[in-house]
Amino acid sequence: MTAAAVRVTGVTRVFAGAGREVVALEDVDLTVAPGEFVSLIGPSGCGKSTLLRLIADLDAPSAGTVEVFGRPAREARLSRDYGIAFQQAGLLPWRTVRANIELPLALAGVGRGARRERADHLLDLVGLADFAGQFPDQLSGGMQQRVAIARALADEPSLLLMDEPFGALDEMTREHLQTQLLRICAENRAAVVFVTHSIPEAVFLSDRVVVMSARPGRVREDIAVRLDRSAVAGAGLDSASDDLRADAGFFAHVARVRAALHGTPSLAVAGDTVAEDAVRGGAA
């Protein structure tokens, strides 16, 4: 049996606040299979970003273990097992788009020729081939975020960690990038852990939506999403994704996640057995 992409076991994270301790995460378990797209969603303060940072080993748990591809998170980070994208693009303003995308490869000691080749491919993948020589401040927010995603994919990671990467973008750019992300993920077959506070975004992208509750941060529900995304993932057409977003199954899942977020699961999707089945399938 192959190791899970991510295995979080009994993780608690307590921050020493001013005068009192803040429990950001309490006894959280999470498993992400290779190639699986999992969204973490919840109200602010539910610890979804903290959980992502623990997986990335940007922070250490107070209790519990985090494993990435069967080894401790720290080892996985040091061997560059994952790519990461943040809410801010976080590009280096003194480097061109191409040099930004090549950064992970340069740090890993990949030669110039191989770097160039990989960057060319990634520039095509995110549709920015014409902007390779530009500097980040010459690009719009959406384009910068695409560069950040290309950078996260540079080292061909089998795990992609994304912390609200589209959070600061307008709705149209957001939906477009979601479509592109599905296409890119279909090409790369990487597992994705995606933090978001948008229910439609989570449902649109994910194989599973993990709903979290705040204070203390806990996993409230783990909802499997069964949607046929092949048309979107194949060509990355916005029209195909519009169809998907207008699909009855899509709405049913959105309602299901929303109910879980508000803590009233029984109210959900009374007449929708597809989603109910999907949930049971995911829980089993």
Among 177, 244, 254, 268, binds other proteins (CB under 8 A): 177
CB contact at 8 A, 54 and 66: yes
Sheet holding 71-72, edge to edge: 21-32, 6-16, 63-68, 71-72
For other proteins, the closer of residues 75 and 272 by Cβ is: 75
For other proteins, the closer of residues 56 and 190 by Cβ is: 56
Residue 139 to residue 97: CA distance in whole angstroms: 9
Which secondary-structure segment (H or E) carries 71? strand 71-72
Three-state secondary-structure class, residue 275: helix
| 45 lies in the binding site for other proteins (CB under 8 A) | no
Which secondary-structure segment (H or E) carries 208? strand 208-213
Among 45, 110, 132, 135, binds other proteins (CB under 8 A): 135
| 141 lies in the binding site for other proteins (CB under 8 A) | yes
For other proteins, the closer of residues 88 and 222 by Cβ is: 88
Total Cβ atoms within 10 A of residue 218: 18
| 13 lies in the binding site for other proteins (CB under 8 A) | no
| Sites for other proteins among residues 54-73 (CB under 8 A) | 56-58
Instruction: Tell me the torsion sign for CA atoms 96, 99, 104, 108.
Output: negative
| 139 lies in the binding site for other proteins (CB under 8 A) | yes
Span of 8-16, 113-121, 141-149, 182-190 interacting with other proteins by CB under 8 A: 141-149
Instruction: List residues near other proteins by CB under 8 A.
Output: 56-58, 77-80, 82, 84, 86, 88, 90, 92-94, 103-104, 107-108, 135, 137-143, 146, 173, 176-177
